[in-house]
Amino acid sequence: MFDELTDLYQQLILDHSKNPRNFHVMEDADHEAQGTNPMCGDNYRLFVKMDGDTVTDVSFQGSGCAISKASASLLTESLKGKNRDEIKGVFEKVRQMVTTGEVTDTGIKKLSAFAGVHKFPARVKCAILPWHAIVAAVEGDQDSVSTE
């Protein structure tokens, strides 16, 4: 695990996993979704506040490994002011990045920290889990998503 840490968990990921941003329940959220990754034990709830089509606030709560927590934390920092289509676009690019390792321009520079995850296939689901959950939340058609 610690060999993996030096390679995979860049400073940004470590920082966000230790000090997750927007890590709280949002009482007045108008969209929510649960994301679970049974393979790893990651389990998060995403909270979203929207004004029409645009996300105005994002938070999350739950538990899981460092990668999933850092991914959720960076996600909450990245998506305020974006609309549904933009979020789905970023999701597709993040998914491509963590599965291929190619750094794609997501429009959010910090997310490229996750490109290294592709070297650890078991971790890809951890990184992408919060993204599945946020898409489910803003679509509002699913209350829970699982990587399985």
Residues in contact with Zn ion by the rule CB under 5 A:
40, 42, 65, 68, 126
Nearer to Zn ion, 55 or 71 (CB): 71
Minimum CB–partner distance for residue 42 and Zn ion (Å)? 4
Minimum CB–partner distance for residue 126 and Zn ion (Å)? 3
List beta partners, residue 21: none
Minimum CB–partner distance for residue 115 and Zn ion (Å)? 17
Nearer to Zn ion, 69 or 82 (CB): 69
Helix (H) or strand (E) segment spanning residue 42:
strand 42-51
For the chain, helix, strand, coil in percent to 5 are: 50, 20, 30
| 84-100 and 121-139 helices, crossing angle to 10° | 170
Nearer to Zn ion, 7 or 53 (CB): 7
